[in-house]
Chain A
Amino acid sequence: MEKFTTHTGVGVPLRRSDVDTDQIIPAEYLKRVARTGFEDGLFAAWRNDPSFVLNNPAYAVGSVLVAGPNFGTGSSREHAVWALQNYGFKAVLSPRFGDIFRGNSGKAGLLAGRVDEKVVQRLWDYLEAHPGAAVTVDLESRTVTAGEGPDRIEDSFDIDDYTRWRLLEGLDDIGITLGHEADIAAFEATRPGWKPATQKVG
């Protein structure tokens, strides 16, 4: 996984709450067996609407998504994270995320930062007034900034310490866990024999 320290890119105001994973990528796009190529499915139902934010060329190159509360609720499909990444998004900001989506983002290297609802409102207003304006998300200091002068927005975002550390270091979870092989083996040795198994192995 690539390290994530700070990112500056075009901010996209997605003025909606409860954007569930079926909205981020509908099921019909989930048939691919690779990890790439999901960008076509991103927000597929809304992309047909000319007034949808990503159909505005100024936002089309966006990489920081600013969404309302309950972003990424619903299904466990990590394809939702891949679709955002395949499209070019590096970070998503929302007051509240679906748990599994937030977890998936951390594993796949997409920054999911929790910000105050008021900050989202201010970012929406600013980004709509200045289409194509940049937003900076700094993971080191956990801050989000945009604009200049009196318009300047600077606030903090929330991300749990462990995910932050892994993103900063670009660490793969499986590698870390396999380092605890002795602990796993010791645990396995004490599991009760009546616990169910799906098959006899070896």
Chain B
Amino acid sequence: MGRTLAEKVWDEHVVRSVDGEPDLLFIDLHLIHEVTSPQAFDGLRLAGRRVRRPDLTLATEDHNVPTIDWDKPIADPISRTQVETLRKNCEEFGVRLHSLGDIEQGIVHVVGPQLGLTQPGMTIVCGDSHTSTHGAFGAIAHGIGTSEVEHVLATQTLPQARPKTMAVTVNGSLPEGVTAKDLILYLITQTGTGGGQGYIVEYRGEAIRELSMEGRMTVCNMSIEWGAKAGMIAPDEVTYAYLKDRPESPKGAEWDTAVAHWRTLVTDDDAVFDREIVIDAADVTPWVTWGTNPGQGAPLGGSVPAPTDFDDEIDRVAAENALRYMALEAGTPLRDVRVDTVFVGSCTNGRLEDLRTAAEVIKGHRVADGTRMLVVPGSARVRLEAEAEGLDLVFKEAGAEWRGAGCSMCLGMNADTLAPGERSASTSNRNFEGRQGKGGRTHLVSVPVAVATAVRGTLSSPADLAPAAAR
């Protein structure tokens, strides 16, 4: 019988397999950052262990770094300690680190791909759940906890129970103006936040093949939001074109060898998935969340649902709690919801392509009075490339704030947070209570919807904007 993509990659990494025990998998790339690693390095020190493969380990500063005055010492002393601890640990254990001020500094899931370190057929882990992003290249990539970070540092392996496999096939093409973000938000609403649990999901079908690498990363990124262990997309010409000539991608004859191998990384025709979901791309429209988990979403053209719309008692109670927290009335058209802050950024939508889209939508418009808009590039390189194209000027002219690279308001760990009761439209991935700041209310949206919302001050799509004044 044939094998799925996930099974092929898995099988290539089994160091040891014994009945009744998880497989021991070799890890090709271990990414680390300041928040989930200090206790792991401490563990190594206590046990007198070293980092087994510093050459397969890469660190960057992202979760807790400032996005203004990032060229000055970090103001908050506790945050500074955390970043300095990472620097000391990397120095002591010989790990390559991209610090603030370095062109490769940025969100770990933006940095791996832009360096060309993320390649098809790899196993990639990081102490961050959105490691699933890297699956867009046909890698098995998933988040791990700090105990596992320590395990990988010490052994370059991870004991893992073999997950089940699922195929999500998206037939047809996404309608004009509908993005990868809308697609994944739609899928999570359809399946619920537990829908992917226990599975490595392979996204396939025409609409997936038509996505850019950036769009594929957006889809795989949010696999975790519907509970999946990881998301993957088989590599193809789009993948190879993205990787060609990146700093760390194979060169010369090694490139040809690598591509020849990557071409084998597709699900065989006779392979069987444990579960299959088929969706029609034509059904996807601009999508926004109204609640406090990513499965509580609706079409932008719709309205806030009523708890009584849900048959299941647990869903009904969850909807009641969510509406109370979000201060929303059932039946309100989503387009009438006023937004205070718009955040464009994060590992979901903080790449150059996203910033280009954002600039295109806002050009000739202004951010609405009473609304603020933050644009936070995913990495320092993305920031510099955007500036070289003049995108920063477009944002500033429109009245938006242009920031330094980092996770920023995605998790509200640095100074970029929502005030209590403040409402955001955010291109990030989580709308949990307080995620972007205590008492903050988050609507997850695509980049075009975020920008149109900034211009109108209420949830909107570019189609709602009057033609730009002077372009």
**A113-125 Cβ-contact flags toward B at 8 Å (1 or 0):** 0000100000000
Q: Does B348 contact A (CB under 8 A)?
A: no
Contacts A18-B318, A22-B432, A193-B254; A35 near B39 (Cβ below 8 A): yes
Cβ-defined contact, A76 with B144, below 8 A? yes
In B18-47, the 8 Å CB interface with A consists of 20-22, 24, 26, 28-29, 35-36, 38-39, 42, 47
Cβ-defined contact, B314 with A69, below 8 A? yes
Cα(A126)–Cα(B111), bound, Å: 51
Residue on A nearest B317 in the bound complex, by CB: A17
Instruction: For residue A81, give the distance in angstroms from its CB to the closest CB of chain B.
Output: 7
Q: Does B363 contact A (CB under 8 A)?
A: no
Contacts A100-B129, A195-B28; A31 near B78 (Cβ below 8 A): yes
Partner of A73, one of B227, B411, B438: B227
Cα(A100)–Cα(B144), bound, Å: 6
Cβ-defined contact, B85 with A33, below 8 A? yes
Cβ-defined contact, A162 with B20, below 8 A? yes
Cβ-defined contact, B193 with A18, below 8 A? yes
In A162-197, the 8 Å CB interface with B consists of 162, 173-174, 176-178, 180, 183-184, 187-188, 191-197
Residue on B nearest A180 in the bound complex, by CB: B16
Chain B contacts for A70, CB-based, 8 A: 193-194, 227, 293
In B94-149, the 8 Å CB interface with A consists of 94, 96, 116-117, 119, 122, 127-129, 131, 142-148
Cα(A195)–Cα(B55), bound, Å: 11
Q: Does B79 contact A (CB under 8 A)?
A: yes
Q: Does B307 contact A (CB under 8 A)?
A: no
Q: Does A108 contact B (CB under 8 A)?
A: yes
Q: Does B172 contact A (CB under 8 A)?
A: no
Instruction: For residue A156, give the distance in angstroms from its CB to the closest CB of chain B.
Output: 20
Contacts A78-B145, A195-B28; A33 near B150 (Cβ below 8 A): no
Cβ-defined contact, A162 with B26, below 8 A? no
Number of interface residues of B (CB under 8 A): 84
Partner of A98, one of B38, B227, B318: B227
Chain A contacts for B85, CB-based, 8 A: 33
Chain B contacts for A79, CB-based, 8 A: 146
Cβ-defined contact, A33 with B36, below 8 A? no
Q: Does A90 contact B (CB under 8 A)?
A: no
Instruction: For residue B105, give the distance in angstroms from its CB to the closest CB of chain A.
Output: 15
Cβ-defined contact, A173 with B151, below 8 A? yes
Cβ-defined contact, B438 with A26, below 8 A? yes
Partner of A18, one of B131, B151, B257, B293: B293
Cβ-defined contact, A201 with B24, below 8 A? no
In B218-251, the 8 Å CB interface with A consists of 224, 227, 229, 248-250
Q: Does B155 contact A (CB under 8 A)?
A: yes
Chain B contacts for A45, CB-based, 8 A: 433-434, 438-439
Q: Does B424 contact A (CB under 8 A)?
A: no
Q: Does A39 contact B (CB under 8 A)?
A: no
In B29-81, the 8 Å CB interface with A consists of 29, 35-36, 38-39, 42, 47, 49, 54-58, 63-64, 78-79, 81
Partner of A198, one of B35, B55, B82, B156: B55
**B242-269 Cβ-contact flags toward A at 8 Å (1 or 0):** 0000001110001101100100000000
**A75-92 Cβ-contact flags toward B at 8 Å (1 or 0):** 111110100000000000
Cα(A201)–Cα(B56), bound, Å: 10
Cβ-defined contact, B36 with A76, below 8 A? yes
Chain B contacts for A33, CB-based, 8 A: 38-39, 42, 81-82, 85
Cα(A193)–Cα(B258), bound, Å: 10
Instruction: For residue A182, give the distance in angstroms from its CB to the closest CB of chain B.
Output: 10
Partner of B147, one of A75, A78, A99: A78
Chain A contacts for B81, CB-based, 8 A: 31, 33
Q: Does A160 contact B (CB under 8 A)?
A: yes
Instruction: For residue B6, give the distance in angstroms from its CB to the closest CB of chain A.
Output: 15
Cβ-defined contact, B161 with A178, below 8 A? no
Q: Does B430 contact A (CB under 8 A)?
A: yes
Residue on B nearest A76 in the bound complex, by CB: B143
Partner of A177, one of B131, B151, B198, B412: B151
For this complex, 18 residue pairs linking A to B, each with C-beta atoms less than 8 Å apart, are: A26-B438, A30-B64, A31-B35, A34-B39, A69-B194, A70-B194, A73-B293, A75-B129, A100-B144, A107-B145, A162-B22, A174-B154, A177-B155, A180-B15, A183-B15, A192-B261, A196-B250, A199-B55
Which B residues lie at the A interface, using CB under 8 A?
A: 15-16, 20-22, 24, 26, 28-29, 35-36, 38-39, 42, 47, 49, 54-58, 63-64, 78-79, 81-82, 85, 94, 96, 116-117, 119, 122, 127-129, 131, 142-148, 150-151, 154-157, 159, 161, 193-194, 197-198, 224, 227, 229, 248-250, 254-255, 257-258, 261, 292-293, 314, 317-318, 321, 411-413, 430, 432-435, 438-439
Which A residues lie at the B interface, using CB under 8 A?
A: 16-18, 20, 22-23, 26-28, 30-35, 45, 68-70, 73-79, 81, 96, 98-100, 103-104, 107-108, 117, 160-162, 173-174, 176-178, 180, 183-184, 187-188, 191-201
